[in-house]
Structure 1
Amino acid sequence: MKIIVPMAGIGSRLRPHTLTVPKPLTVIAGKPIVQRLVEDIASVIDEKIDEIAFIIGPVAKGFPTDTEENLLKIADELGAKGTVYVQEEALGTAHAIYCAKESLSGPCVVAYADTLFKADFTLDVNVDGAIWVKQVENPSAFGVVKLQDGFITDFIEKPKEFVSDLAIIGIYYFKSGEKILNEIQYLIDNDLKENGEYQITNVLESLKQQGAKFIPGKVNDWMDCGKKDPTVDTNKQTLGFEYAAGNNLVSSDVVLENSEIIQPCYVGANVVLKNTKIGPYVSIGEHSVVENSTIENSLIQTNVQISNANLDNAMIGNHAKYNGNYTSVSIGDYTELL
């Protein structure tokens, strides 16, 4: 089994945090989003992962030079071969997959690195494909599917009138990567675009018309990482899942001086807490120092210095310095508010 992860988007809605770190590499509860994504997929499909192919954007569009190295480490930790491709130009969801054409063979899971999910779903490898969906309140903002007798009959992109409330979350299983590649190649060769881009929904529709059978993969929890507030909420939910599973995410070398940690929390290595209370639902990255502060429901990255703060629903980037009494803040890397 292979996992194909298109992640070339610049993540503009999550700025300033994505100015220096690609959104899929943003750390949630101690792990990058993309690492949690592929781990969740591996647990759902319950098969050996042979290769993980990542499609990233060019350095010129904000992807750091060490992005490839970091992604290969993620694949290696899952015992898989890692491959990194570059999508030089954003030409749609199908085009992003096409950039990994050398890896598109055999059974594949394609997962766009925008969200995290939790699912209780057994993959049926005998069907042509599966598309993970989640019931939503406002289906007009999503691509949705219609079902009949347990199979998907229609794909509708952002319907203006109600046709279904089952939203496509951006994770797909395909029994044959070769068939997906052939259909995308046909779109490109014939310049068949929708809104100026090559879309994966057109590939799915074409395969369905040829007789392919797709089933829905139902999702229990769908966590968005597109903007600051949903990302902080995703951190909260992830910490809750980890704590419920019995996982201790507080490093053993954390220095506590007249301080308290209210679980669930993630606290990285070499963190110092002085006269501080953190939690619940707080992540603090390694080598950070927090003094005279109270922090809850917040996502704080590495090498951060915080003092005299009362934070709630905050997101603070790497190497930032913050001294103040604001609460719901969003501070990017290397920012100083003193």
Structure 2
Amino acid sequence: MKVIIPAAGIGSRLRPHTHTTPKSLLQVAGKPILGHILDEVSKLEVSEVIIIINFFGEMIKKYVNSNYSLKVRFVEQEQLKGLGYAIHLAAPYFDGEPILIILGDTVYHADLNEVIATGENSIGTHVVHDPRRFGIAEVKNNKIVRLKEKPEIPTSNLAVVGIYYIRNVDLLSEALDEMMEKKTTTRGEYQLTDALQIMIDKGVEIGVFDVDGWYDCGKPETLLATNQFLLSQLKFFPSVKGSVIMPPVFISPTAEIINSVLGPNVSVADGAAIANSIIRDSIIGQKAEVDQCIMEFSLIGDYARVKMQYRRFNVGDSSEIGYS
């Protein structure tokens, strides 16, 4: 089996952080999003991981090659024309093996070994209250009959969460080729759901499996929600002399915490320094400095400096905010 991770997106909703860091390398619970995904992939029997890159691709290559021994192929996506276009670029490397597609900005909680063991094409879904923001699956007898991308009038509340297991890879390649040749687009982009619908219309059965824990890291609020979920899975929480730590938290061993109250749901990255502050529900980046602050629901970028503030922050890398 091969795993494909599309990680070429701009991440515009996560600016200013994605001005300097690719979305898939933004940190949650002490590790980049991509790291959490690759940790799960490492538990599977995989012949190759294909990562589709564009913005800050060299940063992604460096991170993956420095931290994982998986066999990895990087595919450059020069034009951002949709998920279907990205998977079409990877199609020459399917080599007849089943593929597992996992979006590079998604953290999930599901047993993929169980999904793979069924030996059937299957897509991860999750019940949502407002399906208009997602691709949705219409299902009959546990088989998909129709896929729609962000419908204005939803006919299902099953959102497609960005995990796809496909065994009929030759048929998927043909469907992707057909989609490209006919210029079949939805909302101006080549969607993977359109290619999968071509397969379904030709009689290929694709089932669904429930993903009870699904965390999209595409916006500040969802990044913080993902951080909260991942922290809740930790078994050990550090103590810091002279400070109050309220689990769950992640504090890097190289971070410095002085006379502060941290938690719940706080991640502090390598080399960060926090003093005389009260922080909850926040992510503090590498070598960031926070002093005399009360903050919540905040994202503080790498090397940023924040002093004498009381509010919610979204501060990019190497920024400085202080009282004057």
TM-score (ref. length: structure 1): 0.89
Q: Which ranges of structure 1 fall in alignment gaps of 5 or more residues?
A: none
Residue 72 of structure 2 corresponds to residue 114 of structure 1: no
Q: Where in structure 2 are the equivalents of 1:171-320 lying within 5 Å?
A: 171-242=163-234, 246=235, 248=236, 250=238, 256-320=240-304
Q: 1:238 to 1:270 in 2, by over 3 A?
A: same
- Structure 1 residue 330: deviation in Å? 0.7
- Structure 1 residue 194: deviation in Å? 3.1
Structure 2 distance, partners of 1:42, 1:133, is 22
SS of 2:318's equivalent?
coil
Which amino acid counterpart does residue 82 of structure 1 have in structure 2?
V
Residue 64 of structure 2 corresponds to residue 71 of structure 1: yes
SS of 1:179's equivalent?
helix
Structure 2 distance, partners of 1:249, 1:211, is 51
Q: Which ranges of structure 2 fall in alignment gaps of 5 or more residues?
A: none
Equivalent of 2:84, from 80, 94, 109?
94
Q: Is the 8 A contact 1:3 1:38 kept in 2?
A: no
Q: Is the 8 A contact 2:116 2:165 kept in 1?
A: no
Equivalent of 2:143, from 144, 151, 165?
151
Q: Percent identity?
A: 29
Q: Is the 8 A contact 1:40 1:118 kept in 2?
A: no
Structure 2 distance, partners of 1:214, 1:188, is 21
Alignment partner, residue 104 of structure 1: 94
Q: 1:158 to 1:218 in 2, by over 3 A?
A: same
Residue 128 of structure 2 corresponds to residue 131 of structure 1: no
Alignment partner, residue 311 of structure 2: 327
SS of 2:270's equivalent?
coil
RMSD: 1.9
Equivalent of 1:52, from 49, 52, 62?
49
SS of 2:253's equivalent?
coil
Alignment partner, residue 20 of structure 2: 20
SS of 1:197's equivalent?
coil
- Structure 1 residue 71: deviation in Å? 2.5
SS of 2:228's equivalent?
helix
Q: Is the 8 A contact 2:149 2:186 kept in 1?
A: no
Structure 1 distance, partners of 2:270, 2:38, is 23
Q: Is the 8 A contact 1:127 1:213 kept in 2?
A: no
SS of 2:126's equivalent?
strand
Structure 2 distance, partners of 1:64, 1:194, is 27
- Structure 1 residue 264: deviation in Å? 1.1
TM-score (ref. length: structure 2): 0.92
- Structure 1 residue 124: deviation in Å? 4.8
- Structure 1 residue 5: deviation in Å? 0.6
Which amino acid counterpart does residue 68 of structure 1 have in structure 2?
K
- Structure 1 residue 195: deviation in Å? 3.3
Q: Is the 8 A contact 1:139 1:164 kept in 2?
A: yes
Structure 1 distance, partners of 2:226, 2:111, is 19
Equivalent of 1:164, from 132, 135, 156?
156
Structure 1 distance, partners of 2:146, 2:58, is 41
Q: Which stretch shifts more, 89-98 or 32-41?
A: 32-41
Query: Deviation string for 1:109-168 (max 9, x for gaps)?
Result: 011122211125621555541110000000122111111112111112222334110000
- Structure 1 residue 69: deviation in Å? 1.7
Structure 2 distance, partners of 1:68, 1:102, is 20
Structure 2 distance, partners of 1:180, 1:215, is 15
SS of 1:269's equivalent?
coil
Query: Deviation string for 1:261-284 (max 9, x for gaps)?
Result: 221111113111111111111100
- Structure 1 residue 18: deviation in Å? 0.8
- Structure 1 residue 101: deviation in Å? 2.7
Q: How many equivalent pairs are there?
A: 320
- Structure 1 residue 249: deviation in Å? 5.7
Structure 2 distance, partners of 1:210, 1:293, is 60
Structure 1 distance, partners of 2:228, 2:117, is 33
